[in-house]
């Protein structure tokens, strides 16, 4: 009974639109929603990781290009 009271208190704090949305859901919808929330969190976390991986790859490519150019210039000056 105590859990029901806590659930009711939490629902009372929600916005009216959210309460209406949750009231219209069927139990199967709630189970699907409970499964989708962790998936969404993982996708958002992967998006952050992917952003840093792409940025790191771009920096490595630019750095390698600059290093190659510097080595080419150094060899050109050494051969003269």
| Predicted confidence (pLDDT) at residue 1 exceeds the cutoff of 90 | no
pTM over 0.75? The answer is: no
| Predicted confidence (pLDDT) at residue 61 exceeds the cutoff of 70 | yes
What is the CA angle 39-42-48, rounded to 5? Answer: 145
Q: Indicate the DSSP class of residue 15.
A: -
Please give the pLDDT value at position 2: 58
Tokens of 77: 């000056």
Residue 30's pLDDT band (cuts 50, 70, 90): confident
| Residue partners of 19: CB distance under 8 A and separation at least 6 | 11
């Amino acid at each position: 009974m105590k859990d029901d009271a806590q659930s009711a208190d939490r629902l009372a704090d929600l916005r009216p639109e959210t309460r209406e949305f949750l009231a219209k859901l069927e139990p199967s919808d709630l189970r699907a929603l409970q499964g989708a929330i962790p998936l969404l969190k993982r996708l958002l976390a992967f998006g952050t990781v992917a952003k840093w991986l792409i940025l790191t790859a771009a920096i490595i490519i630019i750095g390698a290009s600059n290093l190659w150019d510097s080595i080419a210039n150094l060899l050109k000056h050494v051969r003269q």
